[in-house]
Chain A
Amino acid sequence: MNRREFLKRSMVVVAGMAVPAAALQLIDPKQLLAAKPQLRWAFIVDAYKCVGCGFCVKACKLENEVPYEANISRTWVERYVVKKDGEVLIDSPRAARDGFTTKKIEVGDGKYREVRDEEIEKAFFVPKLCNQCENPPCVQVCPVGATYSTADGVVLVDRKWCIGCGYCIMGCPYGVRFFHPVHKVAEKCNFCYHRITKGMKSACVDACPFGARQIGNLRDPNDPVTRIIMTERVGILKEEYGTKPQVYYIGLSKEVR
C-alpha cells in the first residue's frame, strides 16, 4: 500500500484501540465496587432523647485524645430555648463538655442571659458531629489530598500530610472541623474509626445513657439504624448545600442551625 493508505489504516487502528481503553477507564471495577460497597456508615441522632448531659463530649475527648481543656471538640451538644415571643436562644458552653447545669444561657464570651421558666415555650438539645457527607465539600477543597473519604464513607484526615491551610475548615458548612492544638493539623470527628472497624461503636454512642446516638450500616437492610432511616421520619442538616450528610435526625426542629 502507499503512504496515504498506511496512514489512514493506522489512524483507524489507533482510534479502534482507544475506545476499549477509554471504556476500561470509565468502567474501572474498583470504582464500581466503591459505588455500592457492602458497608456505609450512617448515624442517627434522636433530639427527643438527648438530655444535654454531655457524657458524649467527655467520652469523645478522652477516647480521641482531644485536649480536655481546649475550647474545641469533635462533637458537641447545642441547647435551644424557644421563648413564647418567638425568640430563640442557642448555646453550647465549652461544647457541652460539662453538660448543661445552669439556666443561664451563654450569649457571647463571658456573657449570659437568664430566661424565666414561664417565658419558655419549648427547649431541647441537639447533638452535632461530622456528617461524613457523601459529597464532602471539605475533601473537595483540600489542596494536597490530606483529607479523603474511605470506601465505607468516613472522612479522615492524614495528620502527616496536612499542611494546615484551613481550607477544609472554611469549606465545611456544619462547622465540625478545627485545628488540633497539639498536632497543628486539621481535625474532626471520624465516627471513632478505630472502634467501628473493630466491631465496637463510637465512643459517644456507647457513652450516651439515653440512646440518643446510634451508628449502623446503611447497606445492611436489617440494621436497626437503616430500618429507622428507611421507615421513620428523619431529617438532615443543611440539605440545600448538596453535601448528602449521613447523620440523620429524629426530632429536628425549624430552629436548628
Chain B
Amino acid sequence: MLHGEAWTVKELFVYPNEYIYWTIQIVMYPFLTGLVAGAFVLSSLYHVFGVTKLKDIARFSLVFSFALLPCAPMPLLLHLQQPLRNHHVLMTPHFTSAIAAFGIVFLTYGMIVASELWFVYRGYFVTTAQELRQKPNRTLYETILMRLYSMLVMGAWDVSHEALEKDEKAVKILAAVGIPVACFLHGYAGFIFGSVKANALWMTPLMPVIFICSAVVSGIALCILTYVITMELRKLIVAWRRKENPSLPSPEELGGVETQVVRMTSKYLVMFLILAITLELLDLIFRGYTAVKSWDILRSVIYGKDFTAIFILQYGLGNLVPFILFLLPGLTVRRAVVGTILVLFGVFMMRWNVVIGGQAFSASFAGFMHYHLPLWPHDAETFKEGLFGALMVGSVPFVLFWFLSRIFPIFGQKETH
C-alpha cells in the first residue's frame, strides 16, 4: 500500500501522485506547539507584566509548557517516513525551508523555559535538599529527590536575599525574552504553511499571525481548564486522605478554584480570540473578493465539502459559542470550563481545516481528495497516522506533566521570594 492510499479517496481529476500525505499528526503538531506557546505567554503575563492575581496559574502554566515541549516533536517522529534520520534537521539545516528552523527554535525555546524554571525553583530546590539531608529516616523516594535537587542546583546553594533577588530578575528577563521566542515557535509553523505557493489554501502572509493568535488562545484555554481540573482534583484527593489524617487542611483552608483568577485569565483569552477570528475572516473575505484562479475549487471546498467542519464546528462551536459564553456577565467557573473546552476544540478544528482542507482539493484544481482518518489500526502506518496515534500524542503531555509536578511542585510550597 502506498503511503496515503489507505486513507485517501479521490474524486474527479487528481494528479496520479497526489495523496493526502500530511494527516492527523501534522494537525497535532501545530496544535501542541500552539499549546506550548500559549501556556508560556500566560506564564509571562505574571512574570513580566506583574499581574499578581495570575501568580498561581503562572507557575502552573510554566511547568505545563515545559511538559508539552518534549511531546511536540512526537507527532513529527510518527509522521516521518524516515524517523531515525530526524537528526538531519539539526545536522544539515537548509534554512531556506521553514521546517529547518525547527531545530534552532525548539532548542532556544527549550533552554529559555528550562532556565526560567530553574530560576523559579532554585530556592525551593536548595531549601528542600538541605531539609532532606538533615532528615534521619529518608524513604527511597526522598533520597532520590534529594539527589536530584542537589544536582539540579548546579552548585548554586546561595539562598540569601540578594541571590533570590537575582533569580527573580533573571526570571523576568527570560519571561520577556521568551515571549517573542514562543511566538516564533508557533509563527514558524504558520510560515511552513503560509509560504507554500503550490497550495492555494495555505498561501497567505496572514498564516503565521493567525497561527500565533490561535496558539495563544489555545494555550490560555488549556491552562484555565487544567488549572480548574487540578484544583478540583486536589480538593478531592485531600478530602479523601483527610479521613485517615485529620491534620491535613480542610477543603475550606485549601481553597479551590479562584473565580477571580479564571475571570481575569478569560479576559485575555477573549482578546486573543477576537484577534484570531478577525484575521481568519479577513483571509476568507479577501479570497472571495479577489477570486483568483484557485477560487472556484476553494469555494467548493470551503462552502461545500468542508462547510460543516469550517463554519459549524470551527467558527460556530469553537469560536462563536465560547465567545458568547465568556462575554455574558457573571462568568462562573463551570461556564468557563465549557468555554475553554469548546475553544480548544475550535483551535483543533482550525488546524484540521488548514492541514486537511489544504489537501481536500487537487493541485490540478479539477478534483478532490477525501480524508478518512484511520480509526482502528491494522498496521503500523494506520496506527501512527490514525486516531490511536493522535490520542497517544494528546495524552502523553498530561502524563509528563504529572511526573514533572513531582519535581516542580505547583501548589503552595513556601514562597521563596
Task: Name A residues whose Cβ lies closer than 8 Å to a Cβ of B.
Answer: 70-73, 76, 78, 88-92, 94-95, 107-109, 128, 137, 140-146, 161-167, 169-179, 181, 184-185, 240-242, 257
Contacts and interface: CB of A to CB of B under 8 A. Distances in A.
Contacts of A170: 21-22, 196, 198-199
- Most A CB contacts (10 A, CB to CB) among B15, B18, B88, B92 go to B15
Nearest to A169: B21
B97 interface: yes
* Interface residues of chain B: helix, strand, loop or mixed (majority): loop
A141 B80 contact: no
Interface stretch (B141-149, B237-245, B307-315, B361-369): B361-369
Nearest to A140: B96
Contacts of A178: 2, 17, 19
Nearest to B8: A109
B195 to A, nearest CB: 8
* Interface residues of chain A: helix, strand, loop or mixed (majority): loop
Interface stretch (B98-106, B248-256, B277-285): B98-106
Contacts of A88: 366
Contacts of B76: 165
B82 A143 contact: no
Contact of A72 (B10, B16, B197): B16
B11 interface: yes
Interface residues of B, number: 49
- By Cβ-Cβ distance, the 8 closest A-B pairs, closest first, are A164-B81, A175-B15, A143-B99, A178-B17, A257-B364, A90-B13, A95-B16, A173-B198
A145 B12 contact: no
Given A167-B97, A170-B21, A257-B366, A144 B92 contact: yes
B9 interface: yes
Contacts of A107: 11-13
Contacts of B9: 108-109
A71 B19 CA distance: 10
Nearest to B293: A240
B81 A184 contact: yes
B92 A145 contact: yes
B96 A90 contact: no
Interface in B163-204: 192, 195-199
B16 A142 contact: no
Nearest to A93: B16
Given A163-B86, A184-B3, 9 more contacts: A107-B12, A140-B97, A141-B98, A142-B94, A143-B98, A163-B83, A163-B89, A181-B2, A241-B197
